Amino acid sequence: MMCILSLLAALCFVTGDRSTHNPNVVSVANFAIDFHNRMNNYPYAFKVVNIFSDSAQIYPPARVKYTLEVEAAQTVCRNQANVNLQDCPLQSDAETMICSFVVFAVPGNNTIPKRLLSDQCVSDGRGLF
Ligand SMILES: *[C@@H]1O[C@H](CO)[C@@H](O)[C@H](O)[C@H]1NC(C)=O
């Protein structure tokens, strides 16, 4: 599924789900938002609620450059190291933002660190929830 307009984001959140994405893509998206949280002193951590688009470019032998566009929403969890985003519920009127991430990773190998090459998030100025 692909949703370009943030107007559609609420709909995508309801109908789209991340299980339709490759688990490597989900893992890369979670890594990127975690890094983004660490680099910003938001009071509350954001988590990925939607993956609008993803593409993968392979760099042999094993590295992959992922380019993602995701929607992230504010959780109730304090933005601190080692927060487990999976278990963090969203705020009831969560702020949301649209993020473009570029990440280098070796899929299926968590011992090789992922690298965030590009990290750009903009608030979409709406509370969707
Ligand atoms: C991950 O990469 C390291 C270093 O190249 C290698 O030693 C290890 O066997 C790899 N693990 C998996 C699960 O592929």
Confidence of residue 67 (pLDDT cuts 50, 70, 90): very high
Interval 68-124: pLDDT, tens? 999 999 999 999 998 999 999 999 989 999 999 999 999 988 899 999 999 999 998
CA-nearest residue, atom 5 of ligand 1: 112
| CA–CA gap between residue 57 and residue 65 (Å, rounded) | 5
Q: Express each pLDDT in 46-65 by its tens digit.
A: 999 999 999 999 999 999 99
Chain centroid to CA 16: how far?
Answer: 14
Is 112 a pocket residue for ligand 1 (Cβ < 6 Å)? yes
CA distance 36 to 23: 20
Q: What is the pLDDT of residue 110?
A: 84
Nearest to 26 by CA among 86, 83, 75, 95: 86
Residue 20: per-residue pLDDT: 66
For residue 21, the model assigns a pLDDT of 78
User: What is the rounded distance in angstroms from the CA atom of residue 127 to the CA atom of residue 35?
Assistant: 23
Give the span between the Cα atoms of 9 and 50, in whole angstroms.
Answer: 8
- Ligand 1 atom 11 nearest Cα: 109
pLDDT tens readout for residues 79-90:
999 899 999 999
Residue 63 buriedness (CB in 10 A; 0-12 / 13-18 / 19+): middle
CB contact set of 57 (below 8 Å; sequence gap of 6+): 64, 65, 67
Q: Is 123 in the pocket of ligand 1 (CB under 6 A)?
A: no
Per the DSSP assignment, residues forming a β-bridge with 56 are: 66
Beta bridge partners of 88: none
Count of all residues that appear for the chain in the document: 129
CA neighbor of 25 nearest in space, from 60, 50, 3: 50
